[in-house]
Amino acid sequence: MPNAVYAVPVGEPHHPGKHEFSLAHLTILGCPPPEATYIAARAGYDYVSFRTISMTLPNEPNYTLARDPAMLRETKAAFTKTCVKGLDVELARIADGVDVKSYIPELEAAAELDIRQVTCSVWTADRKYATDSLAELCGLAGKIGLTINLEFLTWTTVSTLQDAARMIQEVNQSNCGLLVDTLHFNRSRVRLEELDAIPSAWFHMIHFCDAPAEIPSKKKELIYTARQARLDPGEGGIDLAAIVNRIPEVPYSLEIPNLERVKSMGYAEHARLSLANAKKYLASHPREAQASIR
């Protein structure tokens, strides 16, 4: 992987600048998009991210904006009343029996809100089907100005950086990017040097969080941490600076679901504290101090 050469999709270059932050919906999943927007604004986020494509998990709320005109209007109003913008929507899964055309309404709703990024992951073992579906999804998204960001998750079919990079190269679409989640990067045991082979233009955002240093051996435990027990940057044992300093300056989407903390302090304070701790961590780990900056 470190010696691999990947084709660079055509896209706008990323320029260094101030850190920007998005409040990921999984962090406050009990809040519908309008409420999530106001919470993000009060806490000081630049962006908010929505899960408008449900994974249909038990007890997961359904925020399909395309089928809820009232909520879509309320979300537009929240954007108008605040300085917060939408960063991305999720989760466009590629899975057996799923027609990616079914995502068109939510892609169009995202575009209507001027949200330009879509998070995607692969859940099928059929490589050709996955690649063809991702290419089709990119084609559908490209028609309305959206970028698809392929995320690798530790327990899914595309579970490593190498897996994701190969698929992006195979798809060869200018609007297909790569999404690194610091939790999955660590727990998939990706080597830092692997990032050095990835074209900078592939990055449009990053999922930023921490977790205990010890990596669970059981899938159930991996899923538990990812969905309800992540930690704020600096509270765990992941070398976050070593990861993010190999990635261009893109928005940090704080995906930090922690149900115990939400129970004790509520969504709004959880979101505020997550942002405060993320800023504190990054301030204490400036890019200039890292020898691995690209």
Structure tokens, 224? 């538990």
The CATH number of whichever domain residue 189 belongs to comes to 3.20.20.150
Report how far residue 176's alpha carbon sits from residue 4's, in angstroms, rounded to the nearest whole number.
Answer: 18
pLDDT (0 to 100) of residue 197: 93
Closest by Cα among 126, 132, 118 to 86: 118
The DSSP bridge partners found for residue 119 are 149
Owning domain of residue 72: 29-289
The answer to whether residue 2 is domain-embedded is no
The count of structural domains within the chain is: 1
Q: What pLDDT, on a 0 to 100 scale, did the predictor assign at position 288?
A: 63
* Residue 59 pLDDT: 81
**In 3-state terms, what secondary structure has residue 151?**
strand
Domain presence at residue 271: yes
Per-residue pLDDT at 60: 86
Euclidean distance between CA atoms 76 and 78, whole angstroms = 5
CB 34 within 8 A of CB 71: yes
- Residue 133's DSSP bridge partners are none
10-residue mean pLDDT profile of the chain (294 residues): values are 38 55 97 98 97 86 95 97 97 96 97 98 96 98 98 95 97 97 97 95 98 94 95 97 96 98 97 98 80 44
Identify any residues that bridge with 244 across adjacent strands, giving them in sequence order. none
* pLDDT on residue 178: 98
- Reading phi first (left if > 0) and then psi (alpha if -120 to 50, else beta), residue 239 is in beta
Q: How far is CA 159 from CA 2, 150, 151, 167, in A?
A: 18, 11, 9, 12
Range 36-59 burial, b when 16+ CB lie within 10 A, else e: bbbbbbebebbbbbbbbbeeeeee
CA-CA distance, 16 to 248, in Å (whole number)?
7
Residue 15 domain flag:
no
**Residue in 29, 114, 22 with CA at minimum distance from that of residue 75:** 114
Check residue 58 and give its pLDDT. Answer: 80
Distance CA 102, CA 202 (A): 25
Q: How far is CA 126 from CA 81, 135, 161, in A?
A: 45, 14, 18
* Phi, then psi, of 237 in degrees rounded to 5: -115, 10
Residue entry with tokens 């960063």: 87
Determine, yes or no, domain membership for 17. no
Query: Is 22 a domain residue?
Result: no
Q: Is residue 120 part of a domain?
A: yes
**What confidence score (pLDDT) does residue 4 get?**
43
Q: Which residues pair with 151 in a beta bridge?
A: 179
Residue 17 is predicted with a pLDDT of: 53
Q: Which residues pair with 122 in a beta bridge?
A: 94
State if pTM tops 0.85: yes
